[in-house]
Amino acid sequence: MDNLDGTCASLRQRITETEAQLARLREELQDAERAATAAKAKSTRWPMEDEEYARYGRQMIVPQIGLPGQLKLRSSKVLIVGAGGLGCPAALYLAGAGVGTLGLVDGDEVDVSNLHRQVLHRSANVGKRKVDSAIEYLRELNPHPTYIAHPAHLTPQDAPSIFAAYDLILDCTDNPATRYLISDTAVLLRKPLVSASALRTEGQLTVLNNPPLPPGDPSGGPCYRCVFPRPPPPTSILSCADGGIVGPVVGTMGVLQALEAIKVLTSPPTPPALHIFSAYSSPLFRSIKLRSRRPTCAVCSAQPIVTLETLQSGSTDYVFFCGSVSPETLLGPNERISPQEYHKSSSSSFSSPSNPPIITIDVREKVQFDICSLDNSINVPISTILSSSSTNTTTNSNPDNNPPPWLPSQITTSPTSPIYVVCRQGNDSQVAVKKLKALGLDRGGRRIVDVMGGLRAYKRVVDPGWPEY
């Protein structure tokens, strides 16, 4: 036992010595890099290479940038979290502008569904890591910057060590838990943050923690928690896969992130504001002035609850704070059927009083129903069902007396036909089944069930030719 304790103590001592040596080497490297830069500056009349003057010349003659601004960009280090619809155009324009170091954080791989909006990726790179695909394109665009890949999903344990090496952070992610993590880490490490989001035809943009003063300093810029102290309900969160996205909308927000990043790096801070973009509105943009830091903010106030210690120890649970986004199972096993069972029932041509034909209700929105639909299915969008003002919602009510306007006539004219409800992923269909049963449509033993996994599962186990969108 004593020998093991001695071995452990010896190893700890060697680790300490090695870490100290590594720190000295880092300092020597920084000194050498500074000396090399100074020597290069003395060897020429100009602070940049000839090719850089030609490359950035039209940017440098803009008064707000100039040569001083270009040199600031050249020496800056920017981290982009997310190499998707926002991160791709942001990285594209920051690399083109001559930012000295660009880091990309993303743990996903390129999928064909990304290509209509994630402009750094190509068809040939489907299946490739997004950070590698993006950097491959960026190097072809501009070989001067240093590109650093962080091929993993951001975690509270890793975020501080990654952020520490950069001057500015861009939040190009698409879920609340990661947004709070990014903002908290940026505040604790005193990094300004450019945050944006986009869904369907709308987007939002804001610059946070600018100026990046320590927690407790009211002169610092507000953080994400100051603007959104409470996360949205998990059931209200839509991803691009569920809600849809128009490519130029998310591209617009990503380009604006790059523009705000250039402003942060080259100009004094401006008053905080939330900019809202709506592609089908006039005007396209409107801005809301933001207040300064909240005195009771959990991270940037004088009495913060979130610290680097709570972050790295895991005691700050972002998934718990934002709530689970996993779909709940609202129905029992006898209220759900498999896609195979649905296919067998819908394919049967035999019907009788004891075996009436089925009624299939598709509760996707009409725009999705028009893309593809099951044979003989009836479209009743879930939004229509949920917004119905019908008061006939008690369990024992009789829909024949006062049916809600959205109820298909086939349901009342064929009172014994089983009702199968389907949606895209098997979530909204459960809600619809509960609603139909609340109307009393299952009286007399009528079967009302949903198709588990929705049309995605139907494609996977029944019809591989079903369109994937």
Asked whether residue 113 is marked as a ligand-binding residue, the answer is yes
Residue 335's φ and ψ, nearest 5 degrees, are -105, 10
pLDDT at 236: 64
Q: To which residue do tokens 């942060």 refer?
A: 264
Q: What is the pTM of this model?
A: 0.78
pLDDT at 41: 53
Query: pLDDT (tens digit, 9 = 90+) per residue, 147-191?
Result: 999 999 999 999 999 999 999 999 999 999 999 999 999 999 999
pLDDT at 412: 85
Asked whether residue 390 is marked as a ligand-binding residue, the answer is no
pLDDT at 23: 60
Query: pLDDT (tens digit, 9 = 90+) per residue, 311-324?
Result: 988 888 898 888 75
pLDDT at 205: 98
Asked whether residue 322 is marked as a ligand-binding residue, the answer is no
Asked whether residue 117 is marked as a ligand-binding residue, the answer is yes
The maximal CA–CA distance of the chain, rounded, in angstroms, is: 96
- Residue 57 pLDDT > 80: yes
DSSP 330-346: -S-GGGEE-HHHHHHHH
Domain ranges of the chain: 48-313, 333-387+405-462
The model's confidence at residue 33, banded by pLDDT at 50, 70 and 90, is low
pLDDT at 401: 63
- Residue 392 pLDDT > 50: no
pLDDT at 29: 74
Q: Which of 88, 172, 322, 423 is catalytic?
A: 423
Asked whether residue 334 is marked as a ligand-binding residue, the answer is no
Q: For the domain with range 48-313, which CATH number is right: 3.90.1150.10, 2.60.120.1310, 3.40.50.720, 3.40.50.1820?
A: 3.40.50.720
Asked whether residue 50 is marked as a ligand-binding residue, the answer is no
- Which amino acid is residue 64, in one-letter code? Q
pLDDT at 338: 96
pLDDT at 394: 43
Q: Which of 8, 240, 322, 372 is catalytic?
A: 240
> Rounded distance, CA 451 to CA 337, Å?
5
Q: Which CATH architecture has domain 333-387+405-462?
A: 3-Layer(aba) Sandwich (3.40)
Asked whether residue 175 is marked as a ligand-binding residue, the answer is yes
**Looking at residues 236-258, what average pLDDT do you find?**
88
> Rounded distance, CA 221 to CA 294, Å?
10
- Residue 410 pLDDT > 50: yes
Query: pLDDT (tens digit, 9 = 90+) per residue, 99-158?
Result: 999 999 999 999 999 999 999 999 999 999 999 999 999 999 999 999 999 999 999 999
Enter the tokens of residue 172.
């190009």
- Residue 328 pLDDT > 70: no
The model's confidence at residue 356, banded by pLDDT at 50, 70 and 90, is confident
The model's confidence at residue 31, banded by pLDDT at 50, 70 and 90, is low
Asked whether residue 85 is marked as a ligand-binding residue, the answer is yes
256 vs 46 pLDDT, higher one: 256
| Burial of 401 per CB tally in 10 Å (0-12, 13-18, 19+) | exposed
Active site residue 372: no
Do the domains 48-313 and 333-387+405-462 sit in the same CATH topology, yes or no?
Answer: no
Of 39-43, 220-224, 370-374, least confident by mean pLDDT is 39-43
